[in-house]
Amino acid sequence: MNDAELINTLEEAIAGLQWMSESDYPFTVVYWQDELPILTPEHLLQLTNHPPDTLVETEAVDDFFAIATQAQDWHDAEATAVVKRYQALVETLKQSLDALTVYRLGQINLDLYIIGKTTTGALAGLATQAVET
């Protein structure tokens, strides 16, 4: 899949999805044509226009999406459909991007980036926000 197809696929996959925290936020697709061998927290802060002293933590993709991708007995049909969409989204991210990592920027009001490298060496993925007190 080329980068344009990946962007379109991700945009379709996130349409209408909201990341649930203490507030719900939509996802957006991010793409930087940047050919660094590895994305460092410092470089991500520059790309996203965050102050250099912003706290950056990383998390595995499966850990980040664990709650959203696990069906529960109490889920109704709508909730089950959302879980399946998240499962498909995670699979698309894992199949399409190398070195996939979740970056958590800030404290309490977090900017979240799920970023990996495309086959062309560009950086791509998703961004959203969360509130965690």
Q: What is the DSSP string of 22-55?
A: SSEEE-EEEEE----SS--HHHHHHHTT--TT--
Going by C-alpha positions, the residue among 98, 93, 106 that lies closest to residue 133 is 106
| Cβ within 8 Å of residue 43, ≥6 positions away | 34, 36
Per the confidence metrics, is the pTM higher than 0.85?
Answer: yes
CA angle 94, 117, 33 (to 5 degrees): 140
pLDDT tens digits along 60-113: 999 999 999 888 888 888 888 888 999 999 999 999 999 999 999 999 999 999
Distance CA 62, CA 125 (A): 15
Architecture of domain 3-131: 3-Layer(aba) Sandwich (3.40)
